[in-house]
Amino acid sequence: MFQRVSPQVKRILDLANDEALRRRHEYIGTEHMLAGVVQEHEGIGAAVLREFGVNNETLAAAIGHFIRDGERPPAARQLPLTPRARTALQNAVDESGCLGQDLPDSPHVLLGLLRERDGLATHVLKYLGIDADQLRAAILKALGAKMELKDIVEAPQRSAGPRAVFPRDAAGEVARQGGPPPQAGVESLIGQRVVLDSAGTLVYLGTLTAVRPDGYWLDDADVHDCREGHANKELYVCESAREGVRANRQRVFVFREAVVSVSRLSDVVVA
Residue 21 exposure: Cα atoms within 13 Å on the Cβ side: 13
- Whether the pLDDT of residue 21 is over 70: the answer is yes
Report whether pLDDT(166) > 60.
Answer: no
pLDDT band at 198 (very low <50, low <70, confident <90, very high): low
Does residue 178 carry a pLDDT above 50?
no
Mean residue pLDDT across the chain: 69
Q: Are 128 and 58 in contact (CB under 8 A)?
A: yes
Highest mean pLDDT among 65-74, 173-182, 195-204: 65-74
Q: Which has the closest alpha carbon to 108: 82, 88, 85?
A: 88
When pLDDT is cut at 50, 70 and 90, the band that residue 154 belongs to is very low
Average pLDDT over residues 175-194: 51
Give the model's pLDDT for residue 113.
Answer: 95
The answer for 152, left when phi > 0, alpha when psi is -120 to 50, beta otherwise, is: alpha
Q: According to the model, what pLDDT value does residue 137 have?
A: 86
* Higher per-residue confidence, 214 vs 70: 70
Helix 120-127 vs helix 132-154: angle between axes, to the nearest 10 degrees? 100
Least confident of 176-180, 202-206, 244-248, 267-271: 244-248
Cα separation values, 242 from 6, 8, 216, Å: 34, 37, 12
Confidence of residue 152 (pLDDT cuts 50, 70, 90): very low
Cα separation, 93 vs 8, whole angstroms: 13
Q: Where are the domains of the chain?
A: 2-149, 164-270
- Give pLDDT, residue 267: 60
Q: For 20-39, b where at least 16 C-beta lie within 10 A, e where not — what string? A: bbebebeebbbbbbbbbbbb
CA distances from 165 to 10, 181, 202, 261, 267 (A): 44, 15, 6, 13, 9
Name the class of domain 2-149: mainly alpha
Q: Which residues of 159-195 are buried (b: 16+ CB within 10 A; e: fewer)?
A: eeeeebbbbeebeebbbebbbbebeeebeebbbbbbb
Give the pLDDT of residue 261.
Answer: 56
pTM confidence score? 0.56
179 pLDDT tier (thresholds 50, 70, 90): very low
Mean pLDDT of 79-92: 93
Res. 99: pLDDT tops 90:
no
pLDDT at 231 over 60: no
Q: Is the pLDDT of residue 54 over 60?
A: yes
Greatest mean pLDDT among 98-107, 159-168, 231-240 lies in 98-107
- DSSP category for residue 235: B
